[in-house]
Amino acid sequence: MSSPSRIGRMRRWLTYQRLVPLLALASGAPATAVALVLVWIGDFAERTQWSVTVFLLGAWFILLFHMRERLVRPLHAISNMLEALREGDYSLRSRSPNRDDALGLILHEVNQLAQSFHDQRLDALEASNLLSRVMAVIDVALFAFDEHDRLRLLNSSGESLLGRPADQLVGRDAAELGLADCLDGQTPRVTDLTVSEGLGRWELRRRTFRWDGRPHRLVVLTDLSQVLREEERVAWQRLIRVLGHEINNSLTPIKSIAESLAMLLERGDSVEEYGEDLRDGLAVISGRSEALGRFMSSYARMARLPPPNRKPFEVGAWVHRIASLETRLPVVVVEGEPIEIEADNDQLDQLLINLVENATDASLETGGGVRVGWERVDGSVEVWVEDEGPGIAATANLFVPFFTTKPHGSGIGLALGRQIAEAHGGVLTLRNRTSQTGCVARVRLPLDQEGTEAAAG
């Protein structure tokens, strides 16, 4: 047999648990040999020589065996605990180690490591259980796709959306499931999807996460069809209620006067006798018809607001011009810095005129004044109108179309104004003042064209 193979076999045999006792045996061999030589060459009886020899050799080997057990047994325990940790068993613990020595400190740290893994597994199981319960009861469809666009996870809402159980869906490509468009494009967005129940509108949200060390994409689909149908139903109910109320207000007096005029005609009186009543009745019918026509025209105007025709103009000149149109009381203009914006001047005129008129109407009730001004706020221009009137009582109905507290109001001014502001990418708010009675209306419009188009879109 060659020398390298013999050396390799020697190394395999000379393991750690064998090497350490051999080293200990070698370390005690010189002293033991000297002692035995002195005993056997000395003037001692043969019985004594054998007794000392047996005692020395026996004590030497017993100590070596005990040392081996004290050294190897804890290492086996540590090895078993580490193997259990590798296999996912975190229940093994060593007996209370003495942390005053190095070996005890190692056993203590291994115990702490096992306890830490146990706590982490418990937290992971609780989090996984919570996630499973949330996914089971949540009313949105959840899908998880891997880096190859294959479905790896879905909830019960996702199964209902696709009309098949999970075991028939997991592992399939997104294109096969009709969800390929959900993995591309910007989110959140509203999209139309053809699913098992037909075409529907869904809000799409998408996020990335890592699972088992690999990237995945989480797709969340919220069904908007039912919400939109409910909103549509409420809108139709509100529209029918408002139209019915306004039409009945006009048709009731028209019907009553028409019946009265018919009775006059049936009586056969001369025209000279009931001519004045006839003229008054026809005037009322004409007035109510004109009022009904104005109402329908106002509704059509709000429903068909054209897109803004944006052109640059100076905010200060615009505010001064609108303030000068009010003749019932002087409107105080609080000067701001020169600011130019791109917007539809005609539409904004309509918006600001309505706000100034409302403020003037409110201030005339209490004998107060009206102030209007503008300022730059976070990349936007904010135009405000303050009055010293009685304040707003029904704040919840401010922007409800056709709701008004004025005797001759149409109820579309604020609703139309908010629509104009939002078409420009801005916002219209109306709140009661905190320092005194009255309210303040604020119109915030973006300064940059890109922000205006993004917000309006």
Q: pLDDT (tens digit, 9 = 90+) per residue, 308-328?
A: 888 898 999 999 988 988 888
Comparing CA positions, the residue from 160, 142, 138 lying closest to residue 152 is 142
Phi, psi values for residue 375, rounded to 5°: -160, 160
The residue-averaged pLDDT of 44-68 equals 80
Q: What is the pLDDT of residue 341?
A: 92
Torsion of CA 280, 281, 285, 286, to 10 degrees: -30
Report the alpha-carbon distance of residue 146 to residue 340 in Å, rounded: 50
Question: Is pLDDT of 49 > 50?
Answer: yes
Question: Is pLDDT of 455 > 60?
Answer: no
Report the alpha-carbon distance of residue 195 to residue 191 in Å, rounded: 12
DSSP helix/strand/coil, 73: helix
Pairing of strands 151-154, 141-145: antiparallel
Report the alpha-carbon distance of residue 220 to residue 153 in Å, rounded: 12
pLDDT band at 269 (very low <50, low <70, confident <90, very high): low
Residue scoring higher pLDDT (324 or 452): 324
Q: Which fold has domain 228-303?
A: Helix Hairpins (1.10.287)
Amino acid at 127: A
Q: How far does CA 253 lie from the centroid of its chain?
A: 54
Indicate the CATH number for domain 311-456.
Answer: 3.30.565.10
Comparing CA positions, the residue from 95, 32, 101 lying closest to residue 63 is 32
In the chain, the percentage of residues whose pLDDT exceeds 70 is 74
Most confident of 177-181, 314-318, 447-451: 314-318
Q: What is the pLDDT of residue 451?
A: 42
Comparing CA positions, the residue from 441, 456, 237 lying closest to residue 344 is 456
* HSE of 406, CA atoms in CB hemisphere, 13 A: 16
Of 13-22, 102-111, 170-179, the poorest mean pLDDT is in 13-22
Give per-residue pLDDT as tens, 150-167: 888 888 888 888 888 888
- Residue 317 carries which DSSP code? H
Question: Is pLDDT of 193 > 50?
Answer: yes
Question: Is pLDDT of 241 > 80?
Answer: no
DSSP helix/strand/coil, 386: strand
Report the alpha-carbon distance of residue 345 to residue 153 in Å, rounded: 53
Other CB atoms within 10 Å distance of the CB of residue 385:
26
Report the alpha-carbon distance of residue 198 to residue 47 in Å, rounded: 107
- Residue 312 carries which DSSP code? E
Tokens encoding 388? 């010293």
Torsion of CA 85, 89, 94, 97, to 10 degrees: 50
Residue scoring higher pLDDT (127 or 339): 339
Of 13-17, 190-194, 199-203, 259-263, the poorest mean pLDDT is in 13-17
Phi, psi values for residue 324, rounded to 5°: -70, -15
Tokens encoding 220? 């969340």
Which uninterrupted H or E stretch holds 280?
helix 271-303
Comparing CA positions, the residue from 130, 131, 126, 163 lying closest to residue 144 is 131
Give per-residue pLDDT as tens, 396-448: 555 555 455 554 444 566 777 888 888 888 998 888 888 888 889 999 998 86
Q: What is the pLDDT of residue 315?
A: 93
Torsion of CA 283, 284, 287, 293, to 10 degrees: -120
Report the alpha-carbon distance of residue 177 to residue 166 in Å, rounded: 12
Question: Is pLDDT of 7 > 70?
Answer: no
Report the alpha-carbon distance of residue 313 to residue 104 in Å, rounded: 83
Report the alpha-carbon distance of residue 412 to residue 294 in Å, rounded: 12
Q: What is the pLDDT of residue 181?
A: 83
The residue-averaged pLDDT of 261-270 equals 68
Task: Assess whether the region 138-223 and the region 228-303 belong to the same CATH fold.
Answer: no
Residues 204 and 191 sit within 8 Å (Cβ to Cβ): yes
In the chain, the percentage of residues whose pLDDT exceeds 90 is 9
Comparing CA positions, the residue from 297, 449, 284 lying closest to residue 380 is 449
Residues 363 and 369 sit within 8 Å (Cβ to Cβ): yes
Residue scoring higher pLDDT (71 or 120): 120
Of 135-139, 145-149, 336-340, 358-362, the poorest mean pLDDT is in 135-139
Pairing of strands 331-334, 370-377: parallel
Q: Which residues contact 323 (CB under 8 A, 6 or more apart)?
A: 331, 333, 356, 372
State the chain's mean pLDDT as an integer.
77
Q: What is the pLDDT of residue 450?
A: 46
Indicate the CATH number for domain 138-223.
Answer: 3.30.450.20
> Directed axis angle between helix 46-87 and helix 16-41, to 10°?
170
Question: Is pLDDT of 383 > 90?
Answer: yes
Other CB atoms within 10 Å distance of the CB of residue 376:
13
Amino acid at 183: L
Of 264-278, 341-355, 401-415, 420-434, the poorest mean pLDDT is in 401-415
The residue-averaged pLDDT of 179-194 equals 81
Amino acid at 360: T
The residue-averaged pLDDT of 260-286 equals 70
Segments making up each domain of the chain, as ranges: 3-87, 138-223, 228-303, 311-456
Report the alpha-carbon distance of residue 213 to residue 148 in Å, rounded: 14
Residues 414 and 357 sit within 8 Å (Cβ to Cβ): no
The residue-averaged pLDDT of 377-398 equals 80
pTM above 0.75, yes or no: no
